[in-house]
Structure 1
Amino acid sequence: MHALRAALADLVLGVRCAGCEAPGRALCDTCRSEIGHRAAVRIPDPAPSALRRPTPVVPMSLTPYAGVVVPVLHAYKEEPRTALAAPLGGLLADAVEAAIGRCTGEEDPHAAGPVRLVPVPSRRSAVRARGFDAGAALARSAAADLRRRGLPARAAPVLRVGRIADQAGLTAADRARNLAGAYRLRRPLGAGLVVVTDDVLTTGASAAEAVRVLTEAGSRPVAVVTVAATRRRLGRAGDGSGSR
């Protein structure tokens, strides 16, 4: 129902930018450029142990969760304006390329071979309320964009989530307890580099649970890649987070 109302609004009012309300596109060039800063490693502090052991998992995002990216991601997930999946997927693809280059040491990320983008799973109640799976749609869009660039990428929504409380307002410790054991693997992953994807990295609890489950199944991710990362948890000096 929400998705239908959003589509009708765009039909009646015309497509408008989710960041600045300029007519013509779901995300205008100016707002896209503001979100698409140079991708950087932004590490939650404290970093969940699943992102550190047995091997480091690089947390890469395009921008701090501030400014224009906030209304854009809200519009995508909560209105919901599903047309934003394409431009946001392109931005996520930029960050995936940067993460792969950093993790593999390859100047050309296309040399890394096949890539599997595993979205952090959404609660079933959230999917029903929105009318679509925002995380899976974002991963599919990013994978399609990467394939157009010549990188053999596929979205792999292989995780499912059990009954958990809403994460909003929970502390880092509460989020970790809420998610402990919450994810399950639907099916094994094929060969390739595994990258966990999401829209925003906050405390890292959701990403860490996804990494834990995949690691136990023998598919240790090399990176967690998001469009944005919250600024309220700052990385320590010298960790390269850029989230200040």
Structure 2
Amino acid sequence: MDGFRERLPPGLRDALAGALTLLLPVSCAGCGTGGIALCPPCADQLRPAPRSRELAGLTVWAGLAFDGPCASAVRALKERGRSDAARALAPALREALREAVASAASPVLAVPVPTSAAAMRRRGYRVPELLARRAGVRTARLLRVARATRDQRILGRADRASNVAGSMRAREGTAGLDVVLVDDVVTTGATLQEARRALEAAGARVIGAAVVAATPLTGVRTRARRLPDSPDTSR
């Protein structure tokens, strides 16, 4: 089933994944309340509040903080097959991307962090790309996985950097392009830095990064931007 699903066009694959969720008991991706995919209180807490973080010279914009309903929805998307959660999280990524490219003087390509073959087989979709599609953003798959890595979640800060070092390669034709990196969550920034290294080694210019959410990281300076109320993301 995984191999068949992987060969489907992205739009059809997303529709299949969404249809499968309708066959399962529905619960809020943010808090687990039964009978609704996203309850109004959780939808309210998923309203974007873009904030930037400087990580080794890379400006990373996050639409939300990785806690509460946001953290639950991301885990549902990544660990429980809840592809429908991408729709609730997409506005946060869209606003983060808007901030990340605000000062760009030329067209910028959104480049998702690549998904390993194992993760693709397990989920049936690429998380950063699915989130970008739900946000109405076209992406360019300019990065590929060059070698396997360990699960970053079980590693400390130093080990995360060494774990992903040299794990990505840029595809041909990236020289001279302006790009912004796209991912779901940033913690230490090690994965984004590796993606940046691979693209810059191929001649691209990375102007920044955009993610749905950022985990708390002490000692790192952040800058927030206030937005007007967003529409209900539960629809």
**TM beyond 0.5:** yes
Residue 143 of structure 2 is aligned to residue 159 of structure 1: yes
Give me the whole-angstrom Cα distance separating, in 2, the residues matched to 1:155 and 1:191: 17
Q: Is the 8 A contact 1:19 1:31 kept in 2?
A: yes
Residue 131 of structure 2 is aligned to residue 138 of structure 1: yes
Cα shift readout 1:35-91 (whole Å, capped 9, x = no counterpart)? 234201134xxx34xxx2xxxx31110222111111100111111111222332232
Q: Quick one: structure 1 residues 218 and 29, their matched pair in 2 at CA, closer, same or farther if it must change by over 3 Å?
A: farther
Structure 1 equivalent of residue 98 of structure 2: 97
Give me the whole-angstrom Cα distance separating, in 2, the residues matched to 1:204 and 1:223: 12
Find 2:173's aligned residue among 179, 184, 188.
Answer: 188
Cα RMSD, aligned residues only:
2.8
Give 1:139's aligned amino acid.
Answer: A
Find 1:199's aligned residue among 177, 184, 197.
Answer: 184
Unaligned segments of structure 1, at least 5 residues: 105-111, 147-153
| Cα displacement (A) at 1:9 | 5.2
Q: Is the 8 A contact 2:176 2:205 kept in 1?
A: no
Cα shift readout 1:158-211 (whole Å, capped 9, x = no counterpart)? 211121122121111111111111101133248764110111101100000001
Find 2:37's aligned residue among 26, 34, 48.
Answer: 26
Helix, strand or coil for the counterpart of 1:168?
Answer: helix
Q: Quick one: structure 1 residues 98 and 21, their matched pair in 2 at CA, closer, same or farther if it must change by over 3 Å?
A: same
| Cα displacement (A) at 1:32 | 3.1
| Cα displacement (A) at 1:28 | 4.2
Q: Is the 8 A contact 2:28 2:38 kept in 1?
A: yes
Helix, strand or coil for the counterpart of 2:182?
Answer: strand
User: May I ask how many residue pairs the two structures share in their alignment?
Assistant: 211
Helix, strand or coil for the counterpart of 1:30?
Answer: helix
Q: Quick one: structure 1 residues 184 and 89, their matched pair in 2 at CA, closer, same or farther if it must change by over 3 Å?
A: same
Give me the whole-angstrom Cα distance separating, in 2, the residues matched to 1:122 and 1:156: 13
Instruction: State TM-score, norm by structure 2.
Output: 0.77
Find 1:129's aligned residue among 122, 132, 140.
Answer: 122
Unaligned segments of structure 2, at least 5 residues: 6-15, 225-235
Give me the whole-angstrom Cα distance separating, in 2, the residues matched to 1:58 and 1:96: 11
| Cα displacement (A) at 1:21 | 3.7
Structure 2 equivalent of residue 63 of structure 1: 64
Instruction: State TM-score, norm by structure 1.
Output: 0.75
Residue 218 of structure 2 is aligned to residue 234 of structure 1: yes
Divergent runs of 4+, >6 A: 1-6
Give me the whole-angstrom Cα distance separating, in 1, the residues matched to 2:134 and 2:17: 22
Find 2:154's aligned residue among 169, 177, 189.
Answer: 169
